[in-house]
Structure 1
């Protein structure tokens, strides 16, 4: 079989891929894929696809701590056809085979956490010409710790009686359930043991407030991650979910911080200010448990940032349970996802689109946040009059900025 070798230039955070359709075998600078859900996506009509792993570095040689990814196959409507969880190893790894050359979308995304093993990949090859998958209209970013990464949420996947890579599956964390509910792109900026300003051990090394700015996660024990600053223009989520505070709450006494509640709130506000600077129009949902992780300070920080009038929202997760290694299992993650979905659905114009509608004219909506032009109604033709609406995000209603004719 003759394979096409394609250059993979997937972004660290965003699930996408720029594809080079050359028949030549192309070498590429390898990339790390260490954030949960980091990976790439492409479309093709073929029967086989592989990915080349330059370096996989699990923390040990057991199956418990391999570097796990999920290879998902989606149809043209973004419905999941199948998901195959696999441990990727050095060299070529088969991620898709089929007896029929149907047009499908292949998504390869990280399942396990980087603290159990890191990875570099550089290219894919297929038996039919691939093309880059278009970004989805809905986009979400999740910022958190082990709860968000999916720490130990799938004990049935492993014989291990302790947390390991094999029983951690970000695909089936609350982040995955929420993203698939909306058929949204999602990035997961999460790492176990990290806090807003103090980590679980009482140190303040590479907290999530710092890690948020990086292209890929910094794993101190592995020489595979860099502190390259992420280009925030590459991915513009309409919804950002922040769930942090548990590790700060545990680590404060070890750190000897005076007035820890105020210290946490001040630093949480600084994190929210940074997120708002990066994503000016996003709805930012701040989650907390009801009885741990500084829920009162999270609420106060949301109010300090202007609350719902400034698109900051507070969510106390009353559904939170932790039956798997002190963390939610898959069913408990589903309950958290349901609670978060209800919150997202309650936010007006959360996805920055409004169907204004008209029988006689075409409504064109310019999305300030993403630059996307949404056409509501029939496709405009030469001579048609169209109503042009620009979404103004803030405290006012959306307004029509004028009318125009299609040349």
Structure 2
């Protein structure tokens, strides 16, 4: 099996929406019950309930009805992270802007009305937009703009925005949802309690998955990448879990594809929210503690022969890889506690060293007393993604196998 991996490019140095005269209260929610004295905002006006109510529109209340008007409030948008369920690592730059780099970062929210605006600030990224769980649009390089989805049936809707690929250079930015005239941004659904993190390379990122061919131009490589069809996203959706896809193309645990850029490796960037910003550190908001972490690092370490002038020999590469992997697992234990780590490996041509060394990592960890670590292996891919990467069909097959493996762990019942 011939395997070609994309060499990394651009390596450089989780409420409702409120619009804040007096500050606006939380937006009125038709499904919520309110008692006397509770206050809400609706269509930039503040209201106070006189008695218990549910589903009665404040704007339709008269002088003797349940809602008492308290006057107008200024239109100030509540922070993005309060409007939406945010999946993946983001950096909060301002209340109305978050930035990010890792593939598959996503935003899920709810609104009422016939349309919704999506506030982008990204000159490079490509995004999937879903309304009520159905694909609605692919947004390419939106820049600083508000992308509108209009013409919907008047009522309550869900919206999902997801980054299709990686942004290893300039980070992307998102400013949240903008209600259409007469509409309203609603509180997001309750965040999932199940969480799973995927750590890896271009396979984890879903690079070139939609191509249906192996030979792609650089533009096609980007256009056909889609983190939403990756095995990680598919597996998380199967379990109804929140997820992170922390994949970086071309990087390995200790050695990168072809021995490139020996001064960095995957571990250089793992702690960052913005991968292309030296010194950047992702600040866990405290609500990210995955029950399962799937680590798939090693394809780039072992898929190309060690070349003359590299710091490794085939033997020392194996030793260094295992040592770094043990340290990385200890790091995960330190930041997430009693999580279950799955060490993932795939078939590599011609000698499949990755399978052997990944098995050794797990066996040695178990021998040392770690019983929350497992080995996961997959092969039989058609590799019909760009550059011999997994195709959509491959990702589905990998996810099916991984779901079976996770079910066997008894983590989620």
- TM-score w.r.t. the length of structure 1 is 0.70
Correspondent of 1:43 among 86, 110, 113: 110
Distance 1:10 1:28 in 2: 8
| Greater relative contact order (Cα < 8 A, sep 6+) | 2
Report the 3-state secondary structure (helix = DSSP H, G, I; strand = E; otherwise coil) of the residue aligned with 1:268.
Answer: helix
Which digits, 9 at most, give the CA deviation of each residue in 1:219-247, with x for residues without a partner? 2xxxx676124327331111111111011
Which digits, 9 at most, give the CA deviation of each residue in 1:56-104, with x for residues without a partner? 233xxxxxxxx21111234xxxxx3335322141233325334323323
Does the CA-based 8 Å contact 1:194-1:247 persist in structure 2?
Answer: yes
Consecutive unaligned residues of structure 1, counting only runs of 5 or more, are 19-26, 59-66, 75-79, 354-407
Distance 1:147 1:293 in 2: 18
Shift of 1:118: 3.9
Paired position in structure 1 for 2:362: 302
Correspondent of 2:235 among 158, 178, 196: 178
Report the 3-state secondary structure (helix = DSSP H, G, I; strand = E; otherwise coil) of the residue aligned with 1:214.
Answer: coil
Paired position in structure 2 for 1:131: 187
Shift of 1:303: 2.0
Whether 2:142 is the aligned partner of 1:89: answer yes
- How is 1:66-85 mapped onto 2 (pairs within 5 angstroms)? 67-74=125-132, 80-85=133-138
- TM-score w.r.t. the length of structure 2 is 0.70
Distance 2:99 2:409 in 1: 35
- How is 1:5-404 mapped onto 2 (pairs within 5 angstroms)? 6-10=77-81, 14-15=86-87, 28=95, 30-54=97-121, 56-58=122-124, 67-74=125-132, 80-94=133-147, 96-115=149-168, 118-127=171-180, 128-155=184-211, 161-162=217-218, 163-202=220-259, 203-216=261-274, 218-219=275-276, 227-231=280-284, 233-250=286-303, 253-254=306-307, 255-258=310-313, 259-291=316-348, 292=352, 294-306=354-366, 310-324=371-385, 325-348=387-410, 350-351=411-412
Does the CA-based 8 Å contact 1:69-1:86 persist in structure 2?
Answer: yes
Report the 3-state secondary structure (helix = DSSP H, G, I; strand = E; otherwise coil) of the residue aligned with 1:134.
Answer: coil
Shift of 1:320: 3.5
Distance 2:99 2:109 in 1: 18
Distance 2:254 2:326 in 1: 11
Shift of 1:318: 2.8
Distance 1:326 1:116 in 2: 24
Distance 1:273 1:17 in 2: 21
Does the CA-based 8 Å contact 2:127-2:162 persist in structure 1?
Answer: yes
Distance 2:337 2:89 in 1: 26
Aligned-pair Cα RMSD in Å: 3.2
Distance 2:159 2:340 in 1: 29
Distance 2:78 2:88 in 1: 13
Distance 2:280 2:85 in 1: 14
Distance 1:94 1:135 in 2: 25
Distance 2:340 2:329 in 1: 11
Bigger radius of gyration: 2
Shift of 1:157: 11
Does the CA-based 8 Å contact 1:57-1:118 persist in structure 2?
Answer: no
Distance 2:395 2:228 in 1: 11
Distance 2:238 2:139 in 1: 23
Q: Which moved more, 1:153-162 or 1:330-339?
A: 153-162
Shift of 1:137: 2.1
Does the CA-based 8 Å contact 1:153-1:169 persist in structure 2?
Answer: yes
Shift of 1:133: 3.6
Q: Which moved more, 1:316-325 or 1:330-339?
A: 316-325
Which digits, 9 at most, give the CA deviation of each residue in 1:292-316, with x for residues without a partner? 4622221111122227962101011
Report the 3-state secondary structure (helix = DSSP H, G, I; strand = E; otherwise coil) of the residue aligned with 2:272.
Answer: coil
Consecutive unaligned residues of structure 2, counting only runs of 5 or more, are 1-42, 45-74
Distance 1:176 1:293, change over 3 A: farther
